[in-house]
Amino acid sequence: MATANNNLSVYDKTTIPNANKFRFGIVVSEWNATITEGLYKGAYETLIENGVLPNNIIRWNVPGSFELIYGCKKMQEQLVNAVIAIGSVIQGETKHFDFVCEAVSQGIKDLNVMNETPVIFCVLTDNNMQQAIDRSGGKHGNKGTEAAVAAIKMADLRRRS
């Protein structure tokens, strides 16, 4: 596995654009809250560390990952520079996992194609709870941190284009 024993969330802060004038929306799934709260914490702290003012971060909760699509669509209307979609889907015994993962990834892709405000995909799709823990603040870092870095870079790209 490529992530074995690696924290993938380390980044060079000097390569991140100044984010102090940007506003961000974060839409967080309540399902698998232990995981999504860890992802939110990583995203929030990274935005703050890179100059985003706390009152320029809007958080909305939605019931599950499937609902992230609608939440992100409505968040795009809030005059934010980028949106981060945070969710966690863990493989179970049925095909539900496949349907939810496919729908959410396609829905967020569609929002990026149809609208001007970028939506960052921070939805973990793990085989088990341990993998989710490892990627939401555990030994492999925090995908929320990575999503926040991507959101800053995409907000800057949007500003420059």
Please list the active-site residues.
96
The tokens of 38 are what? 């860890």
Alpha carbon distances (Å) from 120 to 1, 91, 92: 24, 22, 25
Q: How far apart are CA 158 and CA 161, in angstroms?
A: 5
